[in-house]
Amino acid sequence: MIQGLLLAITFISMYALISRERIQLPPGTVVRMPSSWQNYQTLRESRGDSSIPRIKYHCGEILLMSPLPKHGRDANILADVVKALLDSQNRNYEAFTPITMELQEEGGIEPDYCFYIDNWQSVVGRDRLQWDTDPSPDLVIEIDVTTYTDTSDYFPYRVPEVWLLKGSKLTIYGLQETEYQPQTTSRYFPGVDLPMIVAQCLEAASKHGTGLALRELRQRLSRDGI
């Protein structure tokens, strides 16, 4: 029961509060606890319209995470890199954040950003998606600042590709038959050195600001192509 779990959480940190009515976690906090699908739904509803803290459910376990500012900044930069690459190729897409992916009684996950690239026409103009019938995103972006992220969370949805950013290092994971495996290149941007582009953009953003870093990237793509 959530009430019992609340005692365990407050014992760990006097600043953490998890109840049916309220969730309060200090930035950077990750809470892991065994629980049920029903409790996951209750906790998610207790957030109201907020997307914080992040909540996921997998194999009888709930994880909650209150992101640091770096988390959101890096997620937006990485998503803007994807948009710049797609725009440079005149490719259409749909992008979502925040979004909750759920399979009844099986799992719930909230990616930092997701893109429909090959399947954009399936979701254009849609306000709600049914994960047991609608296609999953083609690409998911996750920022790993607090060891909350696990690519295996996306296996039930058969997401073709997951990008995981840890620090300034980007790792591309492709869906194989039974698991995600690191890939040297992206299926959506073959031949592009994405880890290098992302690392350069993050470094430029930290020194000169995100806006300038992204403008320089778009100018480079327009001038040199890919």
Tell me, what's the pLDDT at 147? 64
**Which domain CATH number covers 156?**
3.90.1570
Q: Quick one: 201 and 139 in the same domain?
A: yes
Longest dimension (CA), the chain: 60
Q: How many whole angstroms separate alpha carbon 63 and alpha carbon 57?
A: 6
The predicted pLDDT at position 163 comes to 97
Of residues 168 and 147, more confidently modeled = 168
- Residue identified by tokens 């778009």 is 218
- Whether 194 and 93 map to the same domain: the answer is yes
Q: What CA–CA distance (Å, rounded) separates 8 from 21?
A: 17
Rounded-to-integer distance, Cα 175 and Cα 68, Å: 28
In 3-state terms, what secondary structure has residue 119? coil
Residue 137 is classified by DSSP as P
CA angle 114, 186, 151 (to 5 degrees): 55
Confidence of residue 1 (pLDDT cuts 50, 70, 90): very low
* pLDDT averaged over every residue in the chain: 87
Give mean pLDDT, residues 35-57. 85
Q: In this structure, are 61 and 85 located in the same domain?
A: no
Q: Which of 65, 89, 119 is the endpoint of a domain?
A: 65
- Please, which pLDDT band fits residue 89 given cuts at 50, 70 and 90? very high
Give the H/E segment covering residue 171. strand 169-175
pLDDT of residue 11: 35
Same domain, 75 and 53: no
Q: Mean of the pLDDT values across residues 53-59?
A: 88
Q: Considering only CA atoms, which of 96, 98, 105 is closest in space to residue 137?
A: 96
Same domain flag for 155 and 85: yes
Same domain for 126 and 189, yes or no, is yes
Same domain, 9 and 96: no
Domain identity same for 37 and 148: no
**Interatomic CA distance for residues 138 and 187, integer angstroms:** 10
Show the domain range for 15: 2-65
Is it the case that residue 187 has pLDDT exceeding 50? Answer: yes
Cα 219 from chain centre: 27
Closest CA to 79 of 118, 117, 54, 115: 115
Residue 182 has pLDDT above 50, yes or no: yes
pLDDT at 13: 46
2 pLDDT above the threshold of 70: no
- Torsion-angle region of residue 70: left (phi > 0), alpha (psi -120 to 50) or beta? alpha
Q: Which of 48-52, 61-65, 211-215 has the highest mean pLDDT?
A: 211-215
111-134 pLDDT, tens digit per residue, is: 999 999 999 999 999 888 999 899
Fill in the amino acid letter for 159: V
Strand pairing partners for 31? Answer: 64
> Which pair of tokens denotes residue 109?
């996950």
* 73 in the same domain as 60: no
pTM: 0.86
If one counts the domains in the chain, the total is 2
- Say which amino acid occupies 118: D
Indicate the angle between helix axes 210-224 and 194-208, nearest 10 degrees: 140
Segment 13-32, tens digit of pLDDT = 446 667 667 777 777 788 88
Collapsing DSSP to helix, strand or coil, 142 comes out as strand
Question: Among residues of the chain, what percentage have pLDDT more than 70?
Answer: 88
C-alpha to C-alpha distance for 188 and 96, rounded to whole angstroms: 17
More reliable by pLDDT, 137 or 6: 137
Using 50, 70 and 90 to split pLDDT, how confident is the model at 65?
A: confident
Cβ contacts of residue 80 below 8 Å, gap of 6+? 210, 214
Write down the pLDDT at residue 122.
94
